[in-house]
Structure 1
Amino acid sequence: MASPRERGEAGDSGLFAEGDLAAPVGAVDATAPLAARMRPRTLDEFVGQEAVVGEGTLLRRAIEEDRLTSLILWGPPGCGKSTLASIIAHRTRAAFEPYSAVTSGVADVRQVIRRAQERRRKLGQRTILFIDEIHRWNRAQQDALLPHVEEGTIILIGATTENPYFEVNGPLLSRSRVFRLEALSREAILGLLRRALTDKERGLGNRNAIVEEDALHHIADIAGGDARVALNVLEAAVDAVAPPGSGASAGRVTLAVAEEAAQRRILQYDRESDEHYDTISAFIKSVRGSDPDAALYWLAKMILAGEDPKFIARRLVILASEDVGNADPMGLVVAQAGADAVMFVGMPEAQLTLAQVTTYLACAPKSNASMVGLSRAMRDIRERGAAAVPLHLRNAAHPGLAQFGYGVGYRYPHDEPEGWVPQEYLPSGAASGPYYEPVPRGVEARFRELLTHLRGQRTKGAREVDAKSRDPDPSASQDS
C-alpha cells in the first residue's frame, strides 16, 4: 500500500525529521540516530504495550480493520505514542497529516481542514490529523478542531505526555477515546536493546562490539522506561568502543563504559509536567508517612532533575504545619530555618539542608489536628453564618463603650491563681463540639490532657452560671 507521502497527501509541516511518520516503511537513513532507525514498523514489532495494542484489543482491531475514530494517546516520553501513529500512517487508507503543537497553529489546521474537505467531497477519503504534544495548544486552539471532529471531516489522533483530563478540552475529550500507554518495562527495554545489537539492516549488528550483560542491564535500568533514551545510550556506548567506519577490532562495552555513556542522561522531569507534580506528591506522602528513606529518594530525584530548591523548601514548611503540627512544634521552626538557609546558601550546598529538614519531618510525630480543627470551624461558619462577637470579648478601647456592654464581664485570666478562668469564648450558635482535638502523640499528648481538664472545668463553670441565672438568691426575694 502506498504511504500518504507517496500519494502526495501528507502535510508539509516538516514534523518528525527524526524517524518521519510519513516516510516509506522500508526506508532506512543510516545517518539517523539508532532510536529513529529502530522505530517499529509494524504492530508485531511494537512491544511493551500489549494492554493497548495486543492481540484482540479494541485499538488493534480498529487499526487492522482501518476503522479508527478520534483518539488520544497518553503516556510518558519514549513509550511509543508517535511510533504507534507511524504504524497507523502506513496501514490506513486515509490521508495522514502529521503536525506538532509546538511548531503548528490554527492556520496550519485550517489548511488541513480545507484539504480534508476536498478529499472527502471528491474522493470520499477520510483524513487522519495527528497532533503531537496536543497539550501545548491552548483552549481556543483546541476548540478550532471540535466542529471538524464532530462532522467527521477529520479523525483526530492526539499524543500527549500530560494528563488529557486536565490538558485537553472536555468537549474534544468526550469525542475521543483515551488510551493510556505505560513506560516500557525493563524486560521490554532489554528486548529492544538486544534486537538493536543483532539487527544488521537498521541496528548495530554490523558493528564490532560486544556488550556485556551487566552493561546492558544498566542501560535498561537507567532508561526509566524510555526506549529512545535506552537506544541512544547504547549507541553512544558502542560508538565509544567501536567507532563507526573505524574497522577496529571488536570492542567491549563494559559496565563502566555504559555508565560513562549514560552519565549525561537527563531525567524525564519537566517542571510543568505530570512527572513534576507526581514526584513532589510522592515526596510529601513519604514524609507524611514517616518513611525517611523513600523521602530522600524522591528528594534526590528532584535535585538531580534540577527542581527549584525553594519550591521544595516551601512544601516542607507547609507540611510542617499540615502534617506534623503541634505533635512537634519544632518541625515548623526547623522547616522555616531550612527555607531561610536554602535562600542564603544556594545550591549545591542547600541540598544538605533539604535532606536534614526532610529527615527531621519524616521522623517527627505526626498530627493534622490543627488543620482539621480549622476546617471544622470554617465549615461551621459557612453552614451557620458568622456569629457576632460576644459583648464581653469586644474591644472596649473607649470608656464610653462600657455603657453598651463592651468588655463588661470579661475576666483577665492572669488575675486568677491558675492563670485560667472558666469563661466562654465561643459565640452562641457555634458548634457545640470541639474543633481542635489533639492526638495522643508528641507534644500534643500533653495538650490533649490539658484540654480535657480545661474543657471539663469550662463546662462545669457554665452549668454553675446557668443554675444561678435560674435560681435567684432567696435572700434577695425576701428583702424585696
Structure 2
Amino acid sequence: MSDLFSHQGEINRRALAPLADRLRPRSLEEFVGQEEILGPGRLLRRAIHADRVGNLILHGPPGVGKTTLARIIASSTRAHFTSLNAVLAGVKDLRVEVEAARQRLERHGLRTLLFIDEVHRFNVAQQDALLPWVENGTVTLIGATTENPFFEVNKALVSRSRLFRLQPLEPRDLRVLLERALADGERGYGGRPVELTSEAADHLLDVAGGDARSLLNALELAVESSSADASGVIRIDLEIAEQSIQQRAVLYDKQGDAHFDTISAFIKSLRGSDPDAALFWLARMVEAGENPRFIFRRMLISAGEDIGLADPQAIVVVEACAAAFERVGLPEGLYPLAQAAVYLAGAEKSNSLLGFFDALRSVRATNRQEVPSHLRDANRDGAAFGDGVGYRYPHAYAEHWVAQTYLPAALQGEVFWLPGHLGWEGALQGRLQRRRAAQLAAAAESTADSGPLLSSGPDDAELERWLQRQAAAEGERLDQLRQRFWQGTGWQRQDRTLILAARSLLWALDPLESCPEGGVVISVDSAADQERLQAQSQLLDSLRSPRLLLLDPTRPGSLSEALEPGERFEWLVGRSPFQGLAPEQWQRLLEELVRLASPGAQWRLLLSGPLLGPAGALAERLARPGVTKAGQDDRTLPELLRRVSLEEGAWLTAQPTPAELKGALESMNWQVEQESWQESLTLELSETAYQRWFSPGAAYRIRLETVLNPVEIATVEAGFRGQLRGPLPQRLLHHRLIAHRR
C-alpha cells in the first residue's frame, strides 16, 4: 500500500513540476547543446556509453544541463544512483549515503554513483569527510557547481576528478528546446492550442541568455497566465513575452569566475583602447552590484601598468574621478566612474614601467652592486677615500645634463626603461637614446674606470682642486665634438651613409635619425668592436638599425664585396678612419671608397691626434705646483721625460696628415675644405693605461728602449707608477675635412 501511495505521489509531483523539470532530457539523444564535450566521438559521450565515467565535476552557469547530464549518466550506468544537495545535506547525510554505498559494494558488488548538486556549498569538513570514500572507490562522485572548482572545491577532490566546463546554450539550442516544449504532448504544451509569434520567440531566446531554465520558466509563465481567445487558442505575442521575461539575468558572483572574468575583460578593453567594450563591461559590473571602489582600484593599476608615462595625467584623472565619486555617491557618481574608464581607454598606451621589475631581477642576480666612487656621499669620509670625487653637477652643464655613469660597474650598458613611441615618453625617447649613446661612446673612447680607492694617504688639496677644475665629462665632450662635426649638414631623408672604423654609435646618431628612408653602414676593424656595437644598436629601437661590416683595411675590396651590387653612399664619414695604416694601404682604401661615392656625395672626416705623448703629459703634470712627487728622483726624472717627449711627436703620427689626405682627394677631383682647432682635456692615469704602456712587449715600451737604457726606463716607469689615478693633461688637435665633387 505504501508503494502504491508513493507511486501515486510521484505521478502527482511530476504533473505539478515546473515545465523546465518536466522537460529534462532523459537520454543523450534528447540532450541539447554542449557539442564540444558530448558530440559524437567526444570523450564524455564515449565514457557514458562505455559505463566508465569515473569521478566527474561539472561546472558552468545555471540552466546549461549539469543536473540533467548527471541524471542521464545515472540512467546509462549499471551503478546505483543516489543524490544529495549540498545546500540541504550535512555530514550525517553524507555518512548515511556512504555507508549504504559500502554495503552495496561488499554484499552485491554494486557500485554507487553519488551525485552532489552545488558541491561547492559543502564546507571544508564535509569535503574532507567525502574524500576517503572517493579515493578508495566506495562511491563515484559526480559534482555540479556554478563556481570554479579550482577555487571552491577541495583540491584533493579536484585532483581525483575529471572536470568538464559547460557553456551557455546557443540560440539554436534554445530554439530546439522551445519547439520541443510546444510540441511535446506528454510533458509540454503539445496537447494545448498554444501559438507563439516569431517576435515573441526571438525575444524569449534573446533574453534567456543561454539559460534553458530561464527560457522554459518564461514560456510557462506566458502560457499559464494567458487566456484563450474566442477560438480557444492561447496566443503569445511580443508584449506577453516581454512581460514574462522582462530583464536578462546578469550572471555575476563577486567571489567567483564571473567576477574575475568580467573585470579581466574590462581591463583588457582599456588596454586595447576600446571605449565601447570598456563601457559595456563597466555597465555589466555596475548592474550586478560590483563595488565601484574596487573598479576604481583596478583602473588606478591600469593607469600605471598599461598607460604609464605615455600619459602621466591618466593616474591623476582616475584619482580625481575616484575622489569625485566619494563626494557625490550613487547614482550621480556613475559619471566620474564612466569618465575615468573612457579616459583610460582613449589614452596612449605604454608598459615601459615594467622595466622596474627588470631592475629588481638585476638587483637579485648581480653580485657586485657597489655605488661608484663619484656617486658616494662625500660628507663623511670622502676626503680619505675619494668618495664623491669626480662627480659632475648636471646643473653646471648645458641642458642641465652631463654624460657620466650612474650604474655599478657590473651593470654598465644595462637598460631597464625603454620609453614607448607615443605620448609624453614618446617625445622623450629620441633625447634619451642620444644621451645613452653618448654615455656608451664615452665608455668606448675613453679610459676605463679603475674602481674605488681602497686606501687613504696624505691630503693633496692642490691636486683635488685641479681635479675639480679640469675633470670634464667625456660623454659631453664627445657629443659636442659630434655636433661640430655634423654642423651645416643638409640631410635628405633617403641619404645613405658609410661610417668608417667606428668604435661607437655616436657618429651614426645623426644619419640614423635624419635619414629614415636611407640607410647607415658602419665598418669596424675588429670583431670586438662589432660585437659591442651590435649590443649598443639594440638601444636604438626607434631608429633604423645600422648594418655592421667587419672590414680588413689591408683588403679595401672586402668592403665592396660585403655591400649589395651597385650600392652607393651620399655621405662617407669617419673619425681618424686611416689610423695605423701605411701610406700605400690608406691610399688604396681611399680609392676604393671614392668608387662607392654617389654623384652628389660628400666626405666628412675628423682627424684627431694628441699633441702630448705620455711622457710629455706626465712632465706637464709634475711641473704643476702642489703635485706630490714622493718616491721620485726629482733631478733625473724631468730630464728623462723631456728627452722622451722630443721623440714622442714622431711616435704619435700614426695616420695620414690633413695635407696628405687633402692632396689625395684633390687629385681625384674633389674640392676639400679644412677646419682645425685645439682641445684641452684631462685623462686619468689608470692602471689599464699604465699596463698598456709599460708591460713587456708593449709598443710604447719598445720605442722607449730606442731612447733610454734599462735603468732610465725603470726611473720613468716608477715616475708613472707614483702618479697612478692622477690626472694627466692632454691637448688634442682636430682637423675637419669636408669634400665635394668638383
Structures share a fold, TM > 0.5?
yes
Question: Which one of 276, 295, 303 corresponds to residue 293 of structure 1?
Answer: 276
Instruction: Decide whether the 8 Å contact of 1:28 with 1:202 is kept in 2.
Output: no
Residues 1:334 and 2:317 aligned together = yes
Aligned partner of 1:376 in structure 2 is: 358
Write the deviation string for residues 336-358 of structure 1: whole angstroms up to 9, x where unpaired. 22222232222222322222222
Instruction: Decide whether the 8 Å contact of 1:209 with 1:251 is kept in 2.
Output: yes
Give the unaligned 5+ runs of structure 2.
Answer: 4-8, 452-613, 630-742
Write the deviation string for residues 271-299 of structure 1: whole angstroms up to 9, x where unpaired. 11212211111111122112222222222
Aligned partner of 2:621 in structure 1 is: 476
Alignment CA distance shift 1:394-1:232 (3 Å): farther
Aligned partner of 2:481 in structure 1 is: none
Distance 2:357 2:179 in 1: 56
Give the unaligned 5+ runs of structure 1.
Answer: 1-5, 7-22
Residues 1:452 and 2:452 aligned together = no
Secondary structure of the residue that 1:142 maps to in structure 2? helix
- Identity in percent: 50
Alignment CA distance shift 1:452-1:98 (3 Å): same
Question: Which one of 62, 75, 98 corresponds to residue 77 of structure 1?
Answer: 62
Question: Which one of 404, 407, 422 corresponds to residue 423 of structure 1?
Answer: 404
Distance 1:121 1:448 in 2: 77
Aligned partner of 1:111 in structure 2 is: 96
Alignment CA distance shift 1:89-1:27 (3 Å): farther
Distance 1:125 1:412 in 2: 87
Distance 2:231 2:252 in 1: 38
Write the deviation string for residues 37-96 of structure 1: whole angstroms up to 9, x where unpaired. 222222222111233334444433443454432122232221101111122333434222
1:463 to partner: Cα distance: 5.4
Secondary structure of the residue that 1:466 maps to in structure 2? coil
Residues 1:348 and 2:493 aligned together = no
Distance 2:260 2:425 in 1: 31
Secondary structure of the residue that 2:16 maps to in structure 1? coil
Instruction: Decide whether the 8 Å contact of 1:208 with 1:242 is kept in 2.
Output: no
Letter in 1 for 2:204: I
Instruction: Decide whether the 8 Å contact of 2:382 with 2:389 is kept in 1.
Output: no
Aligned partner of 1:238 in structure 2 is: 223
1:143 to partner: Cα distance: 3.8
1:79-478 paired onto structure 2 within 5 Å: 79-137=64-122, 141-206=126-191, 209-242=194-227, 250-371=233-354, 373-385=355-367, 387-394=369-376, 403=384, 407-430=388-411, 432-462=413-443, 466=447, 473-474=617-618, 475-477=620-622
Where does structure 1 differ by over 6 angstroms across 4 or more consecutive aligned residues? Answer: 467-472
Distance 2:16 2:177 in 1: 20
Distance 1:399 1:57 in 2: 76
Alignment CA distance shift 1:284-1:450 (3 Å): same
Between 29-38 and 264-273, the greater mean CA deviation after superposition: 29-38
- CA RMSD in angstroms comes to 3.1
Larger Rg: 1 or 2?
2
Distance 1:314 1:207 in 2: 55
1:139 to partner: Cα distance: 5.4
Instruction: Decide whether the 8 Å contact of 1:313 with 1:342 is kept in 2.
Output: no
Instruction: Decide whether the 8 Å contact of 2:226 with 2:234 is kept in 1.
Output: yes
Alignment CA distance shift 1:66-1:267 (3 Å): same
Instruction: Decide whether the 8 Å contact of 2:271 with 2:306 is kept in 1.
Output: yes
Write the deviation string for residues 184-207 of structure 1: whole angstroms up to 9, x where unpaired. 111001111122223333223455
Structure showing the higher strand proportion among its residues = 2
Distance 2:238 2:406 in 1: 70
Letter in 2 for 1:80: G
TM-score, normalisation: structure 1: 0.84
Between 325-334 and 411-420, the greater mean CA deviation after superposition: 411-420
Instruction: Decide whether the 8 Å contact of 1:422 with 1:462 is kept in 2.
Output: no
- Count the aligned residue pairs: 454
Distance 2:356 2:373 in 1: 24
Letter in 2 for 1:193: L
Distance 2:223 2:373 in 1: 83
1:302 to partner: Cα distance: 1.7
Instruction: Decide whether the 8 Å contact of 1:237 with 1:261 is kept in 2.
Output: yes
Alignment CA distance shift 1:32-1:441 (3 Å): same
Write the deviation string for residues 156-176 of structure 1: whole angstroms up to 9, x where unpaired. 111223333444444433432
Q: Of the two structures, which has the highest relative contact order with CA contacts closer than 8 Å and spacing of 6 or more?
A: 1
TM-score, normalisation: structure 2: 0.56
